[in-house]
Amino acid sequence: MSGPYTAHLADDCGTILADGSKALAYRHRQIDPYLELCEKVVLDFSGVRSANSSFMNALISGLLEQHGEQVLEKLVFKSCKPAIAVLVEAAIELGISKSVARIAA
């Protein structure tokens, strides 16, 4: 499998993304394995009505912490409503700052 892989968040996690522990489990099961196997991993937010920072941080910040900023070259964020896009951007910034802090330590 070398083409893109799409994670359909609404189908897999529901239309309201609010549970950080569920996001972490989902990331380990549905995203991490495909980062090695696929050229792109698409996080499809189609149908997601709302989310919170707990979910987004567990989902996205952790990816940056674990894989470094270069993981952004593989990730595609699809169909983000404006409020969700703000949370995605904040989670990316948090992940980058944690990754940089870990490298500097």
- Per residue in 62-91, pLDDT (tens digit) is 999 988 899 999 999 999 999 999 999 999
Say how many domains are in the chain: 1
As a whole number of Å, the CA-based R_g of the chain is 13
Question: Residue 1: pLDDT band by 50, 70, 90 thresholds?
Answer: low
Rounded percentage of the chain residues whose pLDDT exceeds 70: 97
Question: Do 35 and 74 form a contact (C-beta atoms < 8 A)?
Answer: yes
Domain enclosing residue 72, as ranges:
5-104
Predicted confidence at residue 101, as pLDDT, reads 76
Question: Residue 12: pLDDT band by 50, 70, 90 thresholds?
Answer: very high
Helices and strands of the chain, counted as H and E runs? 6, 5
Q: What pTM, to 2 d.p., does this model score? A: 0.91
Task: Match 């699809």 to its residue by tokens.
Answer: 78
